Structure 1
Amino acid sequence: MSALARGAFVTRQSMNVLLQALERDGYVTRPAEAAVGKVLPAQLTPRGRESLEEASAAVRAVEVRMLAGMTENEQESAFRALRSVIHSLRGPA
């Protein structure tokens, strides 16, 4: 869960609350007990996969709209800036 939380830029506690809600609402499943250690691996349910596909398509549509008015050089500059922001967020707080 730590890696998932880091990737989403939230605390482990926040990710756990989110996963509990996703599980309650039928988007993911997790075993009742950890097979090894404390990790409860989450898996998408069919409902979760469908929602992920819909969300991914919506995000892609927004990306296309955002980039539509930019030149290739402007797009590259924007991507460099975003990568820098992501790098900063992943660094020590």
Structure 2
Amino acid sequence: MSQEVETLESMIGYQLKHLQSVLRSRMDEALRPLELSTPQYACLELLRRQPGASNSELARGGFVTRQTMNTLLRGLQDRGLVERPRKATTGRALPTTLTAEGEMLLEGAVARVETISELMVSRLDDTQKDHLAEALNLCIGALDPASD
């Protein structure tokens, strides 16, 4: 009654985690000269796309807790890369925006990250890239119906 055990390398979840780990490592390495971590980069990128986003919105978009995002934002604010009002104008949310310095730093960071992203899919043709994106979106939707 021996069951054949598939290798870790043949398990899609393991492959995705391996890819995520290698991608994160490469991004950290590329962003280090800019004194940015991958989560800090993600926060700046989210703010470029959603100026005035709240801490909660940024945390959801960056896949971190609100507490972690608050710490990230304080560090970015101390470096002059983002601005937040001292008090909320309505409710409790403090809308955050990029500063000019944050936008300039983000430009350089985006170029570095895009280079890594291009390398990651460099062995795929356009059809394979489209199929990969479609398959990943289907997998995300299966596990996170709210993302649909």
TM-score (norm 2): 0.54
1:4 lines up with 2:58 in the alignment:
yes
Distance across 1 between alignment mates of 2:117 and 2:58: 23
RMSD: 2.0
Q: Which portions of structure 1, spanning 4 or more consecutive aligned residues, are displaced by more than 2 angstroms?
A: 80-91
- 2:122 corresponds in structure 1 to 68
User: Which residue identity does 1:74 align to in structure 2?
Assistant: Q
Q: Structure 1 pair 8/34, CA: closer, same or farther in 2 (3 Å)?
A: same
Unaligned ranges ≥5, structure 2: 1-54
Kindly indicate whether the alpha-carbon contact (under 8 Å) linking 1:29 and 1:45 is maintained by their aligned counterparts in 2.
Answer: yes
Aligned-partner SS, 2:104: helix
Q: Could you say which residue in structure 2 is the equivalent of 1:78?
A: 132
Residues 19-71 of structure 1: per-residue CA shift (max 9 Å, x gap): 01110111111111111111111111111001111111111111222222212
Moved more, 65-74 or 75-84: 75-84
**Alignment: residue pair count:** 91
**Deviation for aligned residue 1:85:** 5.5
Q: Relative to structure 1, is the Cα distance of residues 42 and 32 closer, same or farther in structure 2, using a 3 angstrom cutoff?
A: same
Aligned-pair identity in percent equals 38
Query: How has the CA–CA distance of structure 1 residues 86 and 24 changed in structure 2, closer, same or farther, with 3 Å as cutoff?
Result: farther
How far apart, CA to CA, are the structure 2 residues paired with 1:28 and 1:90?
A: 32
Indicate the residue corresponding to 1:19 in structure 2.
73
